[in-house]
Amino acid sequence: AQTVTQSQPEMSVQEAETVTLSCTYDTSESNYYLFWYKQPPSRQMILVIRQEAYKQQNATENRFSVNFQKAAKSFSLKISDSQLGDTAMYFCAFTGNQFYFGTGTSLTVIP
């Protein structure tokens, strides 16, 4: 079975600091895609970053970057220079034959 696990239900970080959200997944496939989505209080789902499994280079989008460890099946999200607008639920997602989402990490940025 393919699963996505986010082991940190809640996290907090001081404004301007760095925080890392964890995600692990389980699959027998060799090529797949991984995503981080952000869901602010408005409940809109917003794509943050995308990683293709066959690419060794970690994806980066401005203050957001990932640490992709394929052998360990780990896909963590690092947010640098945290801003108040980063307060949201963050979902890790994996695609196999379906799109699988983790249960989310609620991140609060503290002023």
Closer residue to other proteins in complex, CB, 68/94: 94
User: Quick check: 74 and 62 in contact, CB under 8 A?
Assistant: no
Q: How far apart are CA 34 and CA 64, in angstroms?
A: 14
Among residues 75, 70, 62, the alpha carbon closest in space to that of 105 is found at: 75
Tokens 């060794």 — which residue?
56
28 binds other proteins (CB under 8 A): no
Window 55-84: residues binding other proteins (CB under 8 A): none
35 binds other proteins (CB under 8 A): yes
54 binds other proteins (CB under 8 A): no
Q: Can you give the binding site for other proteins, defined by CB under 8 A? A: 32-35, 37, 42-47, 50, 91, 94-104
